[in-house]
Structure 1
Amino acid sequence: MPKGQFNDLLWFLAVAEERSFTRAAAKLGIAQSTLSHTIKRLETQMGIRLLTRTTRNVVPTEAGERLRQTLAPRVEEIEAEIALLTELRDKPAGTIRITLSDHALQSYVWPKLRPVLLEYPAIKLELNIDNGFRNIVEEGFDAGVRLGESVEKDMIAVRIGPDWRLVAVASPGYLKMHPAPGHPEELIGHNCINHRHLRAGGLYAWEFEKDGQDLRVRVDGQLAFNSSHAMIDAALNGYGIAYIPEDTVVQHIAAGDLVQILDDWSPFFAGYFIYYPSRRQNLPAFRVIVDALRYAG
């Protein structure tokens, strides 16, 4: 490999992943013209076009995509090994990226990690809220948080919270105008506040269970959100029935601002787990995060 070509490959990888010379140049801290010239030189040296440039974006060619897939995991391994050198420092350091839902963040992750960041100021934390499922390896995350039933088998998984359930709630004002349903199928006639969930392929079908009978109900209504907090606000303001994690509305129920319905139909779900590839577990900063989140039972 000619001297300096390794850097050229790293710059190519940045463009291929960002799909933009502008974003890649900003990420690398170099001029866009310098980056463009370097990629052209690399393509000339290799004798093959690696990127297709359009007016709107940059897309790897077949050869470019093959090179990206070859480079990415090896660069990640090098970065992981370099990060291990932080063990020589007094305290763990580095950036940890985690993808998770808003409920997992607010109820389990952020409350436990607040004191950690004060104790370890050299640890940087990026928490990406996404209610869909992300490929953490391909998308550059160190870990993800999901319900136990949804974690891939090839990942290491550590429980971070107890089992929990969704509960159906509505405001007293809404129930005064619309009598509470006694059975999940009666939700069809109600204005329900939907939850857009990528895993469900769109709108989440509400899951119920009683006496061994599993039931899924596709509800309809005026509103749909991908945030449980917005759903709670809509329910509090009388827009309909919401199906919400119980811990997020227990205070509203106790205060009488929301009324719980269909309680005997609300099943428990396996609690949240943080999951990650095996090579992440040896990074000092990552071990601090996992240990802080670990559920003691």
Structure 2
Amino acid sequence: MKQNFTVRQGALDGVEAFLSVAQHRSFRRAATELAVTPSAISQAVRALEARLGAVLFIRTTRSVGLTEAGERFLARARPAFEELVAASGAARELGQKPAGLLRLTVPRSVVPILLEPLIASFCKAYPEIEVELAASEELLDLAAGGFDAGIRMGQFINPDMVAVRLTKPFPFAIVGSPDYLARRGRPKRPDDLRDHACLRLRRSNGGLAPWSLNDNGRSIDLAVSGSFIGHDFPTLVGAAIEGVGLAQVPAPLVTGAVREKKLVRVLESFATTTPGVFLYYPGHRQIMPKLRAFIDHVKSQPGAVR
């Protein structure tokens, strides 16, 4: 059963004054330590006692001692207050310098071609920052998942996000292995794809992604068919290299395979272009130094898009 829990306004008022008096056994020395008047310390302690419904100090003209209630309160309040002070210091430190855990949600396809060299150099430059990459094709909620930022192709980023460009726009390439094309022939027009085994992508929402083409400025979405379905682009690339069928994937992902003649691009004149890959994060909150350091590092790399 869910319990109702509220923090009463001013619940911590007077605790620091109490701890200082308990330490020094003096209202005057506590006032000096906290840079307030003895009267202010006395009022804070009386207000705390009133809220607790218990007397915490035994006061005489010459000494200050703790009651049994005061001893019990001190035993629990001092470590808790010290932990709050430590927590405040830790939070303040993370807000002032690049440190802590930087969590990024990214698609698998961008890790080898974009992030591996970038993350390696970033970790060397900022040893006090831990980097966690959650490779997933799902469009995760950054706040709900506890992520500082995400990386996605521009068309999938919500307009309320701040986006930092990581790559220039690039085409989607349709590729097949030389062996597959020798067996099935090379398509010349989009309609020819009906006679080919087309590798399909299952989106995180469960639907199958159509193939998008550009016919003289006219956008075409084709519901292709084939015997193989993957959940990410690297899987489709691997299947295409093995000759399972044609795949439509981001061109940078197959640059090496095309150069090594493991894959051949087809229907290049019908290729569509994506806006590119972006780092994105919520725009309504202050950027933590760890994320600012990562953004600045990205922009400082040779060949970075500015």
TM-score by length of 1: 0.67
Q: Which residue of structure 1 lines up, in the alignment, with residue 94 of structure 2?
A: 86
Structure 1 residues 171, 282: CA separation in 2 closer, same or farther (over 3 Å shift)? closer
Which secondary structure state, in structure 2, belongs to the residue aligned with residue 198 of structure 1?
Answer: coil
What letter corresponds to residue 215 of structure 1 in structure 2? I
What letter corresponds to residue 217 of structure 1 in structure 2? L
What letter corresponds to residue 171 of structure 2 in structure 1? R
Q: Which residue of structure 1 lines up, in the alignment, with residue 185 of structure 2?
A: 179
Q: Which residue of structure 2 lines up, in the alignment, with residue 206 of structure 1?
A: 211
Check the 8 A contact 1:83/1:94 in 2, yes or no: no
Check the 8 A contact 1:113/1:293 in 2, yes or no: no
Instruction: Choose 1 or 2 for highest CA Rg.
Output: 2
* 1:185-236 Cα deviation digits (max 9, x unpaired): 321221111111225x422111111311111111121211123222222111
Check the 8 A contact 1:84/1:282 in 2, yes or no: no
Q: What is the correspondence of 1:1-297 to structure 2 with a 5 Å cutoff?
A: 83-86=91-94, 92-198=98-204, 201-278=206-283, 281-294=286-299, 295-297=304-306
Which secondary structure state, in structure 1, belongs to the residue aligned with residue 221 of structure 2?
Answer: strand
Q: Which runs of 4+ in 1 moved over 6 A?
A: none
Q: d(CA) in 2 for partners of 1:2 and 1:159? A: 43
How far is 1:134 from its partner? 1.2
What letter corresponds to residue 237 of structure 1 in structure 2? E
What letter corresponds to residue 86 of structure 1 in structure 2? L
Number of equivalenced pairs:
220
What letter corresponds to residue 247 of structure 2 in structure 1? A
Structure 1 residues 258, 97: CA separation in 2 closer, same or farther (over 3 Å shift)? same
* 1:124-148 Cα deviation digits (max 9, x unpaired): 1111111121111122211111222
Consecutive unaligned residues in structure 1, runs of 5 or more: 7-78
What is the aligned-residue identity percentage? Answer: 29
What letter corresponds to residue 264 of structure 2 in structure 1? V
Q: d(CA) in 1 for partners of 2:218 and 2:182? A: 29
Which secondary structure state, in structure 2, belongs to the residue aligned with residue 182 of structure 1?
Answer: coil
Q: d(CA) in 2 for partners of 1:283 and 1:87? A: 6
Check the 8 A contact 2:168/2:305 in 1, yes or no: no
What letter corresponds to residue 257 of structure 2 in structure 1? H
* 1:153-208 Cα deviation digits (max 9, x unpaired): 22221111111121111111111110111112321221111111225x42211111
After superposition, the CA RMSD in angstroms is 2.5
Structure 1 residues 80, 243: CA separation in 2 closer, same or farther (over 3 Å shift)? farther
Consecutive unaligned residues in structure 2, runs of 5 or more: 1-5, 12-86
Q: d(CA) in 2 for partners of 1:81 and 1:228? A: 44
Which secondary structure state, in structure 2, belongs to the residue aligned with residue 192 of structure 1?
Answer: coil
Which secondary structure state, in structure 2, belongs to the residue aligned with residue 115 of structure 1?
Answer: helix
Which secondary structure state, in structure 2, belongs to the residue aligned with residue 126 of structure 1?
Answer: strand
